[in-house]
Amino acid sequence: MSFIDTPDRHAYALYIRPLLFLLRRKTGHLSEAVRLWGRVPSAFLGFLWMWRSLDRRASPVDARLRALIRTRISQLDVCAFCIDLNGSRALELGVAQDKLLALAGFAGSPLFDEAEKAALTFAETITITGRKVDAGLMARLKQHYSDDAIVELAALIAHQNLSAKFNGALGVQL
């Protein structure tokens, strides 16, 4: 249970109720995170809009890599809900379980190629307080990704940090 109790029958804003109805119908319930986001409907809509814009087929960043990045950030931010959600998504997309289990040690693992290692290092650098992206890391990224893809990676990383930190701050559980 999170620090802020938000029952399913909470008096959500009228304009967010249809979305919550659809989410409940799709998954069978509303997660704690969704119930909490529903308390600030305009922010929730912005959060979902950004998620949808980053999780599209035309993205220059592969869906499996996006799921790995989201899972790694979830690990770093210690968000069990996010780890479960993003790890499950990675497996659904075809990421091998061995690779997912090796994610925390990706830098030294032969299961990750150099492009993945560069993107995951970028994610760690942005996520861990006190680290800065330097010219060397940017050069590594540019060996594998277009400028548009790097910008999208930065947006994806920022979005997942928002999600994990929101959930952590409010004590969202599995």
Could you give the domains of the chain? 14-54 (no CATH), 63-169 (1.20.1290.10)
Q: Are 67 and 93 in contact (CB under 8 A)?
A: yes
Q: Are 162 and 47 in contact (CB under 8 A)?
A: yes
Q: How many CB atoms lie within 10 A of CB 49?
A: 10
CA angle (42 as vertex; 148, 39 as ends), nearest 5 = 125
CA angle (57 as vertex; 113, 162 as ends), nearest 5 = 75
Determine the average pLDDT of the residues in 43-72: 98
Q: Are 141 and 119 in contact (CB under 8 A)?
A: yes
pLDDT confidence bin for 140, thresholds 50/70/90: very high
pLDDT at 51 over 90: yes
Model pLDDT, residue 165: 97
* Entry pTM: 0.95
pLDDT digits (tens, 9 = 90+) for 58-114: 999 999 999 999 999 999 999 999 999 999 999 999 999 999 999 999 999 999 999
> Could you give the CA distance from residue 88 to residue 168 in angstroms, rounded to a whole number?
19
pLDDT confidence bin for 1, thresholds 50/70/90: confident
Model pLDDT, residue 105: 99
> Could you give the CA distance from residue 52 to residue 33 in angstroms, rounded to a whole number?
17
Model pLDDT, residue 174: 80
Q: Is 110 helix (H, G, I), strand (E, B) or coil?
A: coil
Quickly tell me which residue has 């925390």 as its tokens. 104
